[in-house]
Amino acid sequence: MEVENHGSNCSRVIFSRDFPPEFGIPCSPFKGFSAVKRIHHYTRDFPPGCGPNSQITTNIYAEKSDRKSGFSSDSSTWRRSVTAVRSKPPLGDVTGKTMVFNASSERSSGEREKVVEMEKLQKISREREKVVEMEKFQKISREREKAVEMEKSQKIFREKEKMVELKNSRKISGEREKVVEMEKSQKNSREREKVLEMVKLFRKRCVEISLSGRGIRRIDTAACAELRKEGKISNQSTLIIGAVPGVEVGDKFHYRVELAFVGLHKHYERGIDSMEWRGGRLATCIVASERHLDKMNDPNSLTYIGEGGVVRRNQVGKPPDQELKSGNLALWTNMNEQRPVRVVRGLNLERSYNRKILYVYDGLYEVKACEKKKGPNGNMIFEFQLTRCTGQPAVPWQACRRYQF
């Protein structure tokens, strides 16, 4: 024990203890008790008047009884027992191994802290990268949505434009159709006026010739020839398949010549009119008559007997057989090609004393069938079955039979 006096106010007592050999050293056989804290140095400052500052010196090596009581048998001697205090292991010993261990532990703890900090930084960076990637994905998705919306809007806009264009085209086409229909109606009206004017002039000239007393046998042909010379009438073309402009269903004609210059039927005597068509002949119009073997009792159908097979004047005997040529072949072609033909019916008037015939335009017919059979005169004839086309106005046949010139 050593006593240091630092003036009169305070004293410091320094205690030292020696350990047995190899005790407290890390490599000693008592290293199993290395966890036990060792007593190494102890220093204590006493207040004034106590301990070494007093006039009595304390003996640390007093007897046990004296240590427990704090006083010896001699009351004049002051004693004080100091309890050993366990403290942390020393910073180092003779070998220096403990100091190295503490330095490595501090270094490892520092590295661990660095690793933890690095991991935190890496985690934060990964989270930031995830956030950036998410923002990029969201941005791309928003751009895609915008592109899709733009395409949809453009598609709707194009469809609207198409609808507008379609409406405009329909409107324009409707207006064009109206214009075409108007032009057609105007043309038909002009053609109709022309036909009616020619028929009126022709009939007027026929009356004049009959009243003139010139003794002309065929008034119709004479009147037509005179009017042609004067340029007041001109033959309309009969080379038309279907309806003729200016002629309507139910129109009535007094002579076959009228059928010619209005464009219905160009022949004055033959019953079938035809034209060249695809290297052959195609029938354009037929004139049926009750004076022949034609059957016209049904207003919507007709049985027509073909051309030929007639005994000429000043000839006696059996009439010849009809042949599939000329007009008969043309009607056969109409049947095969399903082409319509104009039909004019010749009616015997009930109030006519000289057996006049009224020719009435009955519209368009389809040739449905053709049969070659034996006729009433014993010769072979062609019998054609015709049916009236739908959508045409009806003809008042009873009123036509009571017609007067």
Query: What are the tens digits of pLDDT across the range 35-62?
Result: 444 444 555 665 665 655 555 444 444 4
Tell me the average pLDDT across 65-77.
Answer: 46
Supply the range of the domain harboring residue 248. 235-311+319-401
- Burial (0-12, 13-18, 19+ Cβ within 10 Å), 382: buried
Find out whether 189 and 247 touch, Cβ atoms under 8 Å: no
Find out whether 272 and 327 touch, Cβ atoms under 8 Å: yes
Rg, Å, the chain Cα set: 71
- Dist. CA 288–CA 343, nearest whole Å: 7
Within a domain: residue 327?
yes
Within a domain: residue 49?
yes
- Dist. CA 260–CA 237, nearest whole Å: 9
Q: Considering 74, 90, 106, which residue would you say is the last residue of a domain?
A: 90
Q: Considering 35, 57, 90, which residue would you say is the last residue of a domain?
A: 90
Tell me the average pLDDT across 116-141.
Answer: 92
Tell me the average pLDDT across 15-36.
Answer: 51
Buried b (16+ CB within 10 A) or exposed e, 330-340: bbbbbbeeebb
* C-alpha distances out from residue 322 to 296, 305, 344, Å: 21, 10, 22
- Dist. CA 177–CA 186, nearest whole Å: 14
pLDDT of 48 reads: 62
pLDDT over 90, % of the chain: 46
Structure tokens at 271: 């019953």
pLDDT tens digit string along 277-319? 988 999 999 999 887 888 998 999 999 999 988 877 777 778 8
Q: What residues contact 69, with CB distance under 8 A and at least 6 apart?
A: none
pLDDT of 59 reads: 45
- Burial (0-12, 13-18, 19+ Cβ within 10 Å), 264: buried
pLDDT of 172 reads: 86
pLDDT of 168 reads: 87
Within a domain: residue 132?
no
- Dist. CA 273–CA 239, nearest whole Å: 9
Any idea which residue has 């354009």 for tokens? 284
Within a domain: residue 58?
yes
The CA dihedral of 267, 271, 275, 277, to the nearest 10 degrees, is 180
Within a domain: residue 367?
yes
Tell me the average pLDDT across 179-187.
Answer: 85
**What's phi and psi for 13, nearest 5 deg?**
-110, 130
The lowest-confidence range among 44-53, 81-90, 148-157, 209-218 is 81-90
Per-residue pLDDT band at 22 (split at 50, 70, 90):
low
**What's phi and psi for 62, nearest 5 deg?**
-75, 170
Buried b (16+ CB within 10 A) or exposed e, 67-94: beeebbeeeeebbeeeeeeeeebeeeee
- Dist. CA 298–CA 343, nearest whole Å: 14
pLDDT of 65 reads: 45
For residue 369, which of 354, 379, 384, 389 has the smallest C-alpha distance?
384
Within a domain: residue 112?
no
Q: Are strands 380-388 and 357-374 parallel, antiparallel or unpaired?
A: antiparallel
In eight-state DSSP terms, residue 72 is -
- Dist. CA 149–CA 394, nearest whole Å: 62
Q: Considering 90, 115, 144, which residue would you say is the last residue of a domain?
A: 90
Of 69 and 124, which is predicted with more confidence?
124
Find out whether 282 and 337 touch, Cβ atoms under 8 Å: yes
**Would you say residue 75 has pLDDT above 70?**
no
Within a domain: residue 45?
yes
The lowest-confidence range among 133-147, 175-189, 194-208 is 175-189
* C-alpha distances out from residue 219 to 21, 204, 403, Å: 175, 11, 21
pTM tops 0.75: no
For residue 49, which of 8, 105, 81 has the smallest C-alpha distance?
8
**What's phi and psi for 150, nearest 5 deg?**
-65, -45
pLDDT of 78 reads: 45
The CA dihedral of 256, 259, 261, 263, to the nearest 10 degrees, is -150
- Dist. CA 381–CA 324, nearest whole Å: 10
Tell me the average pLDDT across 335-339.
Answer: 94
Within a domain: residue 397?
yes
The lowest-confidence range among 26-40, 44-58, 362-376 is 26-40
Per-residue pLDDT band at 32 (split at 50, 70, 90):
very low
Domain count, the chain: 2
Check which CATH number belongs to the domain holding 385 and give it: 2.30.280.10
**Across the chain, what does the average pLDDT equal?**
80
